[in-house]
Chains A and B, each alone.
Chain A
Amino acid sequence: MTDGGESDEALIGRYARGDAAAFELLYRRHEMRIWRYLERNVGNRATADELMQEVWFAVARDAVRYEPTARFTTWLFTIARNRMIDSNRMSRRQVSLEAVGYEAESVVAQLTTEPGVGPLAAVVARDQATALTRAIGQLAREQRDAFLLQIEGDLSIEEVATITRSSFETTKSRLRYARNRLRELLSEYA
């Protein structure tokens, strides 16, 4: 991912040699993707914040060991996923997205109070946000993880399979089921 600028791999290389500005570019480029991946998987903003910090600490710390044999985003999302799994193991409990309401209401409340968003647009946004968050929360964990990895990390099936340590066919099936289920759920909310 370059955004027309320097590649992620070049930036992490520069940072490994002591260029702090390169890190900030990387962070700004990927922060929302990582944030959404974490938040929509764990369903809790505080936990997502904590994980977000740990993920980027690990990136900063291990930048010198990064070897551009894989894309930077693959490496980044692997770190994020591993941190998330570690966190789940530590807490010994899997947060139920349904149980915590997936914070959908707060998201909707923010959307409707955003300046510049008109009443109709706010309704549309609220509906979309509600539908999306609820739908994602209802996906099976493996399907949700695979779908978020692919769509937020802009990863190929092979890369998702590598990160999740699954076979290509298994990953492909998870992604297919995830999309089918989302389509069904979204059509219900529509």
Chain B
Amino acid sequence: MSRMPPTPEQPDDVDDQYRRASALDPSRPGEAVSRTVLAYAAQLAAERAAAYAGNKLKSRRTASHAWWRPAILGTLAAAGLAGLLIAPQFLAPRAPPVAEPAPTAQAVDSTASESAPPQSAQTPEVTARPPVPVRSANLPTRATHARPKANGATAALPAQPTSVAPPAGSEAAGTGAFVAGAPARELRVPGSPSAVTSIAAAARIGTNPSAALRRAAEVGNLAALEALLEKQTDVDSRDGAGRTALMLATLHGQADAVTALLTHGADPNAADADGTTPLQAATAGDHQTIVAALRRYGAR
């Protein structure tokens, strides 16, 4: 053995020779390899960036919502109930608005009857109970008694709009479309003299219009949203986390609802309890249309 074997950890003349020769070696991977690899990596990166932004926003929401969760659940439950009852009405053709009735004993009675289920046409009329809805206009109802004559002057009537009976013999009278005190769903029949508005419906079921507004914004129900806004509902009312309807619409990507709210004067810079502004939320959620709309209305 003429020489001691080199220790791999020490600099070695063979290593030096190898490196010198490698530096002179022009062979490289094919250009197509580099292009393919980098394109694939960029595609994965774009997907990850989107997922990462989404998770970040989600975790932030989760962390900031913990303390008010019971309150928001209650609010959402009430809003959901209201939505279930009133949403179908907005799908029907819009009827001319009816003036809000003055609170009278009759109105109270009529309102109370809203919760009663429809009964058969043979229900006895004159009883001490609240009036029950009937499907036939052939039988007189308490509602029809309450009014001098069903001549179409609905705006002057103090009772619930659903109490308006069509004139005997009219088209609606024989179709069963008119139902005094029936659930709102009954009023979707074409030709029905429906005059139920969202605010009236919301009032009847005891729902907070502001909560209903936020709920409508969140789910993007434009008909409900506009009806509530026309009734002067506070457009910047806040939920338990300090979120306005605009913020909720933004978080859920409801661009049309955002535009409607901004048009009705919603504050584009109303931050939630965490200090997050609608513009920040829209940017984090990559809702470009909403970002543009918010900027048009002065969001910072």
Does A15 count as interface, using CB distance less than 8 angstroms? Answer: yes
Whether the pair B37, A18 counts as a contact (CB closer than 8 A) is no
Interface residue from A19, A27, A107 paired with B25 (Cβ < 8 Å): A107
Interface of chain B, main secondary structure? helix
Q: How large is the interface on B (under 10, 10 to 19, 20 to 34, 35 or more residues)?
A: 35 or more
Q: How far is the CB of A58 from chain B (nearest CB, A)?
A: 10
- Among candidates B14, B25, B27, B38, residue contacting A23 with C-beta atoms closer than 8 Å: B38
Interface string of A24-37 (1 = CB under 8 A from B): 10010001100110
Q: Measured between alpha carbons, how far is A17 from B52 in the docked complex, in Å?
A: 6
- Is the Cβ of B40 less than 8 Å from the Cβ of A18? no
If A176-B8, A186-B14 touch, whether A110 touches B41 (CB-CB below 8 Å) is no
Q: Are B29 and A172 in contact (CB under 8 A)?
A: no
Q: Which residue of A lies closest to B19 (CB)?
A: A151
Check A129–B41 contact: CB distance below 8 A. no
* B28 partner residues in chain A, CB cutoff 8 A: 32, 35
Bound complex: CA A39 to CA B36 (Å): 19
Interfacial chain B residues near A97, Cβ < 8 Å: none
A52 to B32, CA, bound (A): 11
Question: Interface stretch among A66-74, A77-85, A88-96, A177-185?
Answer: A177-185
With A19-B45, A31-B34, A186-B14 as contacts: A129 and B24 at CB distance below 8 Å = yes
Q: Which residue of A lies closest to B27 (CB)?
A: A107
Q: Is A141 an interface residue (CB 8 A)?
A: no
Q: Is the CB of A18 within 8 A of B48?
A: yes
> Which of A23, A32, A186 touches B41 (beta carbons < 8 Å)?
A23
**A27 in contact with B38 (CB, 8 Å):** yes
Alpha-carbon distance between A92 and B27 when the two chains are bound, in angstroms: 27
Chain A-chain B contacts (Cβ-Cβ < 8 Å), number: 113
Taking a contact as CB atoms under 8 Å apart, the answer to whether A36 and B22 are in contact is yes
Provide the residues of chain B in CB contact with A15, threshold 8 Å: 41, 45
Contact call A110/B27, Cβ cutoff below 8 A: yes
- Closest-by-CB residue of A relative to B39 is A20
Q: Closest approach, in angstroms, between the C-beta of B156 and any C-beta of chain A?
A: 64
Is A182 within 8 A of B14, CB to CB?
A: yes
B48 touching A16 by the CB < 8 A rule? Answer: yes
Q: Give every chain A residue within 8 A of B19 (Cβ-Cβ).
A: 151
Q: How far is the CA of A111 from the CA of B25 in the complex (A)?
A: 7
Q: Which residues of B contact A157 (CB under 8 A)?
A: 8-9
The answer on a CB contact under 8 Å between B6 and A179 is yes
Contact residues of A: prevailing secondary structure: helix
B40 partner residues in chain A, CB cutoff 8 A: 57, 60
| Shortest distance between the CB of A110 and any CB in chain B (Å) | 5
1/0 per residue B1-40: CB within 8 Å of A? 0000110110011110111111011111110011011101
Which among B21, B34, B52 is the interface contact of A18 at CB below 8 angstroms? Answer: B52
A61 within 8 A of B: yes
Whether a CB of chain A sits under 8 angstroms from the CB of B42 is yes
B18 contact from A16, A56, A132, A180, Cβ within 8 A: A132
Q: Does B46 contact A (CB under 8 A)?
A: yes
* 21 A-B residue pairings within 8 Å (CB atoms): A17-B49, A18-B46, A18-B49, A20-B46, A24-B38, A27-B41, A32-B28, A36-B25, A39-B27, A49-B29, A57-B40, A64-B48, A110-B26, A125-B21, A125-B24, A129-B25, A132-B21, A157-B8, A179-B8, A183-B13, A186-B14
Interface residues in chain B, defined as those with a beta carbon under 8 Å from any beta carbon in chain A: 5-6, 8-9, 12-15, 17-22, 24-30, 33-34, 36-38, 40-42, 44-52
Nearest 9 CB-CB pairings of A with B: A18-B49, A20-B45, A18-B48, A132-B21, A60-B41, A56-B37, A20-B42, A23-B41, A175-B8
Since A57-B37, A175-B8 are in contact, a sample of 13 more A-B pairs with Cβ atoms closer than 8 Å, ordered by chain A residue number, is A17-B48, A18-B45, A18-B47, A18-B49, A18-B50, A23-B45, A27-B38, A36-B25, A45-B27, A52-B29, A60-B44, A103-B27, A182-B14
